[in-house]
Structure formats: C-alpha cells, structure tokens
Amino acid sequence: AIDFLLLAHDHGCEDLDGMCCMNLSDHSKLIHKQLSKLQQNLNAIKVESELSDWLSHL
C-alpha cells in the first residue's frame, strides 16, 4: 500500500534512501485520469421522469 501511495504522488523507490519498495509499474497517472473521468460522469448523472419533463414545459 505504501508503494502505491508513493507512486501516486510521483515518488519512486529511489527517492527514499534505505527503504525497500516492491517493483510496481507506475499506473498512477492512468488511475488519476480514470478517477477524474469517473467524477465527470458522476456529475453528469441526472434523474429524469415524465412528470418532471411535463412540469418543466408548463
């Protein structure tokens, strides 16, 4: 978990002298991009019904 958090904040194992890290691929930018897209899609969700559509046209 610590390895992922370090990678998520653009820190590699070489930044922490004496700390042993697992060899993980840095997918943090991809993960942040996907989270951003998910947040955008979440904000775009609307609940609509025939009644609300009808009321808006009055």
Q: How many CB atoms lie within 10 A of CB 6?
A: 19
Q: What is the pLDDT of residue 11?
A: 66
Q: CA–CA separation, 41 vs 20, rounded Å?
A: 38
Q: What pTM was computed for the model? A: 0.39
* Angle at the Cα of 32 from the Cα atoms of 31 and 37, rounded to 5 degrees: 95
What's the average model confidence in pLDDT over 50-56? 76
pLDDT in tens, 15-39: 666 555 555 566 667 777 888 898 9
